[in-house]
Structure formats: C-alpha cells, structure tokens
Amino acid sequence: MTTAWRNRKDRLASIVVRAIAFSTVGIVLAILASLLLEGRHVLSWEFLTQPPSDGMTEGGIFPAMFGTVCVTMLMILMALPLGVLAAIYLVEYAGRGRLARLIRAGVNNLAGIPSIVFGLFGLGFFVLFVGRGLDRLAGNELVFGQPAMLWAAATLAVLVLPVIIVATAEALTAVPRSHREAAFALGATRWQVVQRVVLPQAWSGILTGAILGVSRGAGETAPILFTGCAFYLPRLPVAHLTVPLIGVSIPMVNPLDQFMELSYHVFVMATQSADTTKTRPIQYGTAFVLVALTFALNLTAILLRTRLSRRVVRS
Amino acid sequence: MGEWLLEKFLLLNGIVALVLVALIFLFLFREAGQALARIPFSSWWGAAETDFDGNAVYVHMWQPNGSRPKYSLIPLLLGSFLVAIPAVLIAGTVGVATGIALAEVASRRTREFLKPIVELLAGIPTVVIGFFCLATLATVLQNFFHTTYRLNAIVGAFGVSFVVIPVIASLVDDALRAVPHSLREAAYGMGATRWETIVRVVLPAAVSGLTAALILGVGRALGETMIVLMATGNAAQVTLNPFVSVRTITATIAAELGSVPKDGDWYQSLFLVGAVLFTITFLLNLLAERVVDRMRRKLAL
C-alpha cells in the first residue's frame, strides 16, 4: 500500500465517521422542524392558557401543563432529599463496606429498570398496596386506593432517584480531598466538613442533578399511565382548603386527585382521541411545548455543568 | 451523639434506595408467581385450538381477553426482538461512529458542538419521538419501503434507535477516552495514519467498552415503551418479517394494564410479562457490568 493511498483512506474514513456522527444533528433538527412546522398554527397565548374544548378537538393545553408542573414538583420534593442524603452517605460516610457496595449495586440496578416496570410497580405497590391499605386502616371508601397525583409523583420519584444520587455523588466526589483533609486537620467533625466544606462547593452539581431529574420526570409517560393520569378532566386538580376560624378558603393542589399531563396528552391525542387526523396540529403543538420545556431544563443543566467543570479545573 | 444519629439518618436514606429495588422485585415477582401458579405452564408457549374448518391446530397467540384466553409469550418476545435488533444495528452504527468522532476525529470545537446535541437527543421525551414516528416518519418510511402496514417494526426500530444512539455514543466516547495516550503515540511513532491507529490500536484496546455499550443498548431498546406503543401497530403476531405490525412486551403491558380488572389471570399475566422483561434487562445490565469490570482491570495493568 502506498502512502498516498493510505493518506487518502485516512481522509475518507474521517469524512465518513463525521458524516454519520452529524446524522444525530439531523435527527434532532428533523424532529424539531416537523414539530414546529406542523404545530406553529396552533401555538399561541390562548393555546397555553386555555383548557381543551369541543371534545378535545379545539382549545389549549393549560390543564396538561398545570398537571405536569404539579406532578414534577411533587416528585422532586420526594426524590431530592432522599437522593441527596443517600449520596452524601455513599460518598462521605460509607467507604468500601459491604452495605455500601450493596446500596451502590441497588442504585445501578434501579437505573437500568425499564420505565414500564415502574408503571407496574406504581400500580401494584403505591395504588393497590399502600393506597388500599391506607383506606382499609382508615375504614373509608376509596380515597387513597385509586390512581392519583400523589402516586404518580411517588412512582416518578423512584424512577429519578438514581439520576439524583449519581449526579450528587459526582458533585461530591469532584470536591478535592485536600479540602476535606484541611478541615479535618482543624478539628472539624465529619458533618461539619460535609456542611461547611463539601456542600458549598457541590451545590451547583446537585442542582444540575435536580434539573435533569425534573426534565426526566416531565418527559416520562409509561410510569404514570396507570398511576394518576387522566384523559380529560373538566377541572384542575385543585381543592379549596377552608382555614378554620378566619373562614378564608385557599386553593391548593390536591394530590389525591387525578390530573392531565403533557406527555400523556400527546399520547392520547395521537392515538385515542375521537378524530386523530383533525387534531394533528394540536398534537404537534403539544409535543413542541413538551420538547421546549425539557430542552430548556436540559440546556440549563448542561450550562451549569460546563461552568462547574471549568471551576473544578481551575481550582 | 448528634454525629452518630446523623450518620444513621443518612444511612437510612441509602437503605431506602435499596428497599425500593427490593420492593419492585418483590411486587413484580409476587404477582408473576401467582400467574405461574394459576395458568398452566404450557400456555406461555402456545395452545391447542380448532380452526374454522374444525381442524386441530397449535397456535402461539397472546389473546388474554377471549372466552378461551391465550397467553403465549412467543409473539411478544418476537415482537420485542424484531424491534430491538434492527434498532441496535442502526444505533450501533451511528452511535459508535459518533463516539469515534467525539473521542478521536473531531476538533475540540466540533466536539463542544456535537456533545451537547447528543445530550439534547437523549433528553427528548420518548413520547415525542413516538409521536414523530407515528405522524411523520411512518409516512416517509412507507413511501421508501412500500410496505403494506404503515406502522411496523421497522418504524419502531428507527424511533427506538434515536433513544439508543446517545446511550451508545457517550459510552463509546468514554471507553475510547480511557485508552492511554501512549498507545496512540506508539502507533503514530511507527508511521500509522490516524485511521489505522483508530482501527488497529484504539478500538481493539476499548473492545470491552464497545461491547458493554452495545449490550446496554439492547437492554434499553427492549425496555423502550412509548415509542413502540405508538409506532409498531400493536398487532401480536408470530412473524420474523420486520415490515409488518408487531406487538412488543412493553407495549402489551402499557396497552392492557389500564383496562384489566385488578385481580385475576389477565392482570397477573401482565406482571409475568413484566417480570420476563425485568429479568432480561437485569441480566443484560449484569453482563455489561462484568465486561466493563474486565476492561478496567485490563487497562489498569
């Protein structure tokens, strides 16, 4: 083989590899372009602020957006403390013990479970076992033992738990060991080191994990299919709580209610609504809003992480 | 005392994560065990049936709602693999090439552009990819392949590959970057071109990482739900033709669990189907972990 031929082969191969690699850019652009082109006619302020009307063939997606925000907030409230504290234990306290290895294996395992299995688990455990169990204890008719936002959020929380644990553990590990040793040398206890030295440096990494968790949770559909999503609800999942004595009623999100959700809305509108062809523009518009939401979240996380890694390199 | 309590409290949070995995396992296999106990074992394979002419035939059907329910797992397993195998072939090609581009070929600026794009692709909700396949890609592919069924296993495979590409690409990227620079420099020193170095030195050194990436890709493809539910047509049939409608394990659970009575054979059989999926993906993840461990030990030497 001549050198000229070898060089030509080298150039050709790198062009082919680059071309295939850039097809990922093509995929992202194709998806975004089709959503935007087909959905642009319905995208408007009314679309974002109005409920669906005329048997879901007209109107907007406000209840679905509201439900998505509520369920992901409830989810992160459950998953974030649990995940961050578990990660602090694993990185700062556990060492290489047997129990720590077991917990790490468990977290890895959790991350690999298909999302539909979480759906089965959410229905079998949260709704039917915990929910019905609570009802039996309280001796009431179905209050807890049916699909509700609370159970959907709990199921999603289990799903995003490994995301948060892994991100937090990474952020904690990135804090240089020398900083901890300096604090120990000054006589700090382990918790003081964690609280005053490690966490202040790790918070943006933890925040990145939380944002990625929210975006993951907002995009998932399979785990909530059976645990709380509704096809259509004429009202928001809001209950009015009357404060005793003053008599003021405060509207509150009711976690025992069912709810509409963006990703589920895309699914049912595209496959199960009365006239799927007629409502295509609404489907494209809804999908676009969902993608825009998750992209905004992911971009924030990516930018935060880039900033974080620059800072770690500098120190 | 306060420190001790605090440590135990942190440990408790770690244990909760472990308990959740145990609970998933327990609840899945408890119902699956009930199904195994109540439905005769041969039903999971097939059932004897008389056809319209009165002849005795043996069928592999998933039809749990009829007067004579049939629970054959064969069409579901075939459906899952008919989607997952082409999906991993596509995603393997694109993902490995993207990984090579990111780690070896691309300039720093290209990498800083390409890497976030791959991450954004990973962040697109699967229901949106499913919808894109159902509404747009299915028509494009039907015009290209001239298939009878608009929604079929190949449409689903393309959709699933969009999810698997970022998984494979970032794992391959990591695996290639773990290869020591001295190996590349030795190859360049002997006069090898960059491509020769990649093919003869870097890829062989990272082969376990590549294998692990592909195995995890298969697991991810088998577990994907929304895309296959929306794009494969959902007809449970025994076929090896990827251009007809199929029904996967995941789509079966997603489509049926909402409407079944919450006790009885059908409900429990869906948990068995889920347990089968869980077992397959668990074994694949375990295998990938073993392969990666081997690579770590080899590179540490």
B18/A85 CB distance under 8 A: no
Q: Give the β-pairing of A249-253 and B47-50.
A: unpaired
The A residues from 26 to 55 touching B (CB cutoff 8 Å) are 27-28, 30-31, 34-35, 38
Tell me, yes or no, if A302 comes closer than 8 A to chain B by beta carbon.
yes
Does the residue A281 lie in any domain? Answer: yes
Buried b (16+ CB within 10 A) or exposed e, B75-108: bbbbbbbbbbbbbbebbbebbbbbbbbbbbbbee
pTM: 0.92
Residue A309: the pLDDT is: 64
* Residue in this structure with the two tokens 């003021």, named with its chain if needed: A248
For residue range B183-197, list pLDDT tens digits in order: 999 999 999 999 999
Lowest mean pLDDT of A18-32, A137-151, B167-181, B208-222, name the range: A137-151
Confidence category of residue B241, pLDDT binned at 50, 70, 90: confident
- Residues of chain A contacting residue B281, judged by C-beta atoms under 8 Å apart: 112-114
For residue A10, being part of any structural domain is answered with: no
Total count of domains within chain A: 1
Summarised one tens digit per residue, pLDDT across range B106-119 is 889 999 899 989 99
Contact residues on chain B for A16, CB-CB shorter than 8 A: 97
Q: Which residue of A has its CA nearest to B14?
A: A86
In a domain, A291, yes or no: yes
Tell me the CATH number at A250.
1.10.3720.10
Whether B194 and A10 lie within 8 Å, measured CB to CB: yes
Look over chain A and give the mean of its residue pLDDT values, rounded to a whole number: 89
Chain segment B157-186, per-residue pLDDT in tens: 999 999 999 999 999 999 999 899 999 999
Residue A198 pLDDT:
93
DSSP secondary structure code for residue B39 in this structure: S
Mean pLDDT of A295-300: 89
Residue A28 lies in a domain: no
What pLDDT shows up at residue B149?
A: 87
**Residues whose CB falls within 8 Å of the CB of residue A86, separated by 6 or more in sequence, listed in order:** A103, A107, A161, A165, B10, B13, B14, B16, B17
If pLDDT is split at 50, 70 and 90, which confidence band does A240 have? confident
Gap between the Cα atoms of B179 and B193, Å rounded? 17
State yes or no: pLDDT of B71 exceeds 70: yes
Residue B22's closest chain A neighbor by CA? A106
Task: Tell me, yes or no, whether A186 lies in a domain.
Answer: yes
Domains and CATH numbers, chain B: 73-300 (1.10.3720.10)
Residue B301 pLDDT > 60, yes or no?
no
Enclosing domain of residue A163: 43-49+62-314
Q: Looking at the domain assignment, is residue A120 inside a domain?
A: yes
Mean pLDDT of A67-91: 95
Any CB–CB contact under 8 A between A120 and chain B?
A: yes
Task: Tell me if A55 is assigned to some domain.
Answer: no
Residue predicted with more confidence, B124 or B63 = B124
Closest CA in chain A for residue B158: A27
In a domain, A57, yes or no: no
Q: Kindly list the distances between the CA atom of residue B301 and the CA atoms of A91, B168, B180, B205, in Å, as whole numbers in the listed order.
A: 26, 26, 11, 12
The mean pLDDT of A14-39, rounded to a whole number, is 93
- CA-nearest residue to B2 within chain A is A191
